[in-house]
Chains A and B, each alone.
Chain A
Amino acid sequence: MERMTLEVRHLFVRFRTEKGVITPVNDVSLQVPEGSIVGIVGESACGKSMTARAVMGLVRAPGEVTGGEIILCGRDIASLPEKARRQLRGSEISMIFQEPMTSLNPVMKVGKQVAEAVLLHSRCTWREARERTLAAFRDVEIPEPEARFDCYPHQLSGGLRQRVMIAMATVCKPRLLIADEPTTALDVTVEAQILKLLEKLRDASTSVLLISHNLGVIARVCDRVYVMYAGQIVEQAETEVLFKRPLHPYTQGLFWSVSSLREGCETLKTIPGVVPNLRHLPEGCSFSLRCDRCVAACEKEAPGLVEIEPGHAVRCLLATR
């Protein structure tokens, strides 16, 4: 059996607000095997980022993780106290964000920010921290690392800043890196370079959980994909299987909404409507309102996640019939 870097079981995140309780992460289970890149894909506001934050232990009030296990390398970290969680962050599990422009402190030299991560998690001198930072800069292919060390963030380009972010997140060689839309704000050539870096990380024994709404990105680097909708996983499969034979109407809709240059494509097909307000989810299947194949049963009964073939599960009544 494969060893898992991360295993999330039945994770719930709830927000108690004045207008009622919403559940942006609703019974999510996922696995990231060692040495792999696993993708989570879905529209905006479907719970991808919230899942990531819950794994990091960074859900802010009024939200809270109300149930589930988060198992990192065989250890349940969901129940650990805040201080222990904090020590894991950066050393065992780390994260990079979408906005490389604002993810670095504007008044701190970038080298210092990366070295801060080293100093936090290992007993070493400033000199050693600097050496390790420069090594990390070299790993993420930052040209002239010594010169960049003393730069302020505004002196670097977006691509370089994202590299610095990755260096900061991986300088302590974490077991798992969560990449939350790491390439959304970058242009395609830089995107390709960043994706290469993620693959390099995977080969250096850091597993990656890649969150994206870009199917092209997912297809290129992921070994396995989870499709999320309205806080739930609606389909999961190996990347190849999912791209060949998507079963959930939502997944199919996502594929249709991608324009392809090769096929002489006609009108771009889109999924009607938007992700429903989590406060007013439909009674049956949460996708029923936007699904063009919705039948009467869909509006009554919420489907469960059913395994159709080994490793390929889907949350849809039609697919399981």
Chain B
Amino acid sequence: MPWNRRKRIERASDLRLESQIGEEERFGDLMRRMARENRTAMASFVIIVLMALAAILAPLLTPYAETDMDLLNRLAPPSAAHLLGTDEGGRDVLTRLLFGARVSLLIGVVPALLSLILGALMGVIAGYRGGMADAIIMRVADITLAFPSMLLAMVIMYSLGGGIVNVFLTLTLVNWANVARVVRSETLRIRSGAFVEAARVIGVSRDRIMRRHILPNCLPTLLVLFTLNIPTSILTESSLSFLGLGIQPPNASWGLMINTGRQYLYNAPWLCFAPGAAIMLIVLAFNFLGNGLLDVLDPRQKKQ
């Protein structure tokens, strides 16, 4: 996994919400502060927004369709008509890259969100209820984490079959455990806080305390985990598609494009180069953004 992921997850679990609320920072202020203090993160944010726009507006940005074949024009090098060349079926690489961005971004965001929700729920329940619930949830999480995540993803994908919904499911099942562990430790910290006690004193029920008092206080941590989970999902999906287990042709996904381009690496290197660069760019962007958020939200990093 990219760089010091574990270390950053640990730092994310230390975040306090007071760091933003404490100074009455709204989301806009937060972004402004990030723009001032961490330009890389801000640039990453811009790149992500541009990529998302490009993915959404894909049909307007290119004259070709995703699956249009032009067999007379196979493996054409980059030119004015085909800015990034064409692939083995004569399809425009740029077009496929744009449509592939839809898949890749969707696969970055949706499973990250799903695993965030699942993990947060499990983590809060484990941390607040304790006892049997805690033991069962955390053992399941340990088992999930005990497998190398790629292997686990491959096994699940293999038994479920390809297709985008199954990719969502797989990535959620692979990633939730990390979130659950962090949220559980957050919950343990928050539940000993006096305000949880105060809520119990006025008769607030257990479920309501989890929902209204504990989860909102985990939000900054969850935000950072979210941005850190997205690149993991994208990379995993790319690997799965590269291995032929993810998105199925003729639909485009960046991993899949690299897989098909691999056979023509010597005579048409642009087939691999373009999607590879795109993956690298988006993963780096999300990682930098996650790091930037971590810095902005972490009170110990604050200047003055």
Interface residues on B, range: 20 to 34
Asked if A102 is at the interface (CB within 8 A of a chain B CB), the reply is yes
Asked if B80 is at the interface (CB within 8 A of a chain A CB), the reply is no
Cβ distance A92 to chain B, nearest Cβ, rounded Å? 9
* A154-B18, A154-B21 known; A104 vs B195 contact (CB < 8 Å): yes
- Which residues of the partner chain B approach A58 to less than 8 Å between Cβ atoms? 197, 200-201
Query: Complex formed: what's the CA distance from A163 to B193 in Å?
Result: 19
* A107-B216, A108-B212 known; A88 vs B203 contact (CB < 8 Å): yes
Proximity string of chain B (207-226) to chain A, C-beta cutoff 8 Å, 1 when within and 0 when not: 00000110011010000000
Cβ distance A98 to chain B, nearest Cβ, rounded Å? 8
Asked if A247 is at the interface (CB within 8 A of a chain B CB), the reply is no
Query: Complex formed: what's the CA distance from A56 to B201 in Å?
Result: 7
- A152 x B21 contact (CB < 8 A): yes
Asked if B60 is at the interface (CB within 8 A of a chain A CB), the reply is no
Q: Point out which of B24, B130, B131, B198 has the most chain A C-beta atoms below 10 A from its C-beta.
A: B198
- B199 x A94 contact (CB < 8 A): no
Q: List 23 A-B contacts (CB under 8 A).
A: A61-B130, A86-B203, A88-B203, A89-B200, A89-B203, A97-B194, A97-B198, A99-B194, A102-B193, A103-B198, A105-B213, A106-B18, A106-B195, A107-B219, A108-B212, A116-B202, A120-B203, A152-B24, A154-B21, A165-B198, A168-B198, A168-B202, A172-B202
Proximity string of chain B (185-197) to chain A, C-beta cutoff 8 Å, 1 when within and 0 when not: 0000000011101
Asked if A87 is at the interface (CB within 8 A of a chain B CB), the reply is yes
CB-contact partner of A89 in B21, B193, B202, under 8 A: B202
Cβ distance B190 to chain A, nearest Cβ, rounded Å? 10
Asked if B69 is at the interface (CB within 8 A of a chain A CB), the reply is no
- Interface residue ranges of B153-203 to A (CB < 8 Å): 193-195, 197-203
Q: Which residue of B lies closest to A153 (CB)?
A: B195
Asked if B71 is at the interface (CB within 8 A of a chain A CB), the reply is no
Query: Complex formed: what's the CA distance from A99 to B194 in Å?
Result: 7
Interface residues on A, range: 20 to 34
- B202 x A107 contact (CB < 8 A): no
CB-contact partner of A87 in B21, B198, B203, under 8 A: B203
Q: Which residue of B lies closest to A57 (CB)?
A: B200
Cβ distance B251 to chain A, nearest Cβ, rounded Å? 42
Asked if A117 is at the interface (CB within 8 A of a chain B CB), the reply is yes
Q: Which residue of B lies closest to A101 (CB)?
A: B194
* A97-B198, A105-B217 known; A90 vs B203 contact (CB < 8 Å): yes
* A102-B193, A106-B195 known; A117 vs B203 contact (CB < 8 Å): yes
Cβ distance B222 to chain A, nearest Cβ, rounded Å? 13
Query: Complex formed: what's the CA distance from A120 to B23 in Å?
Result: 31
A-contacting residues of B (Cβ < 8 Å)?
A: 17-18, 21-22, 24, 130-131, 193-195, 197-205, 212-213, 216-217, 219
Query: Complex formed: what's the CA distance from A166 to B228 in Å?
Result: 42
* A106-B217, A107-B217, A152-B21 known; A169 vs B203 contact (CB < 8 Å): no
CB-contact partner of A169 in B195, B201, B219, under 8 A: B201
CB-contact partner of B198 in A88, A91, A104, under 8 A: A104
Asked if A220 is at the interface (CB within 8 A of a chain B CB), the reply is no
B-contacting residues of A (Cβ < 8 Å)?
A: 56, 58, 61, 86-91, 94-95, 97, 99, 102-108, 113, 116-117, 120-121, 152, 154-155, 165, 168-169, 172
Q: Point out which of B22, B201, B204, B219 has the most chain A C-beta atoms below 10 A from its C-beta.
A: B201
Q: Which residue of B lies closest to A104 (CB)?
A: B195
- Which residues of the partner chain A approach B130 to less than 8 Å between Cβ atoms? 61
Q: Top 7 A-B pairs ranked by shortest CB distance?
A: A90-B202, A90-B203, A89-B203, A117-B202, A102-B194, A103-B194, A95-B201
* A97-B194, A152-B21, A154-B18 known; A105 vs B199 contact (CB < 8 Å): yes
Query: Complex formed: what's the CA distance from A172 to B202 in Å?
Result: 9
Cβ distance A241 to chain B, nearest Cβ, rounded Å? 32
- A116 x B195 contact (CB < 8 A): no
Q: Which residue of B lies closest to A120 (CB)?
A: B203
Cβ distance B30 to chain A, nearest Cβ, rounded Å? 14
Cβ distance A38 to chain B, nearest Cβ, rounded Å? 19
- A103 x B204 contact (CB < 8 A): no
Query: Complex formed: what's the CA distance from A104 to B201 in Å?
Result: 12
Q: Which residue of A lies closest to B209 (CB)?
A: A105
Cβ distance A137 to chain B, nearest Cβ, rounded Å? 16
Cβ distance B117 to chain A, nearest Cβ, rounded Å? 19
* A105-B213, A154-B21 known; A97 vs B204 contact (CB < 8 Å): no
Q: Which residue of B lies closest to A99 (CB)?
A: B194
Q: Which residue of B lies closest to A98 (CB)?
A: B194
- B17 x A89 contact (CB < 8 A): no
Cβ distance B245 to chain A, nearest Cβ, rounded Å? 42
- A116 x B204 contact (CB < 8 A): yes
Q: Which residue of A lies closest to B195 (CB)?
A: A105
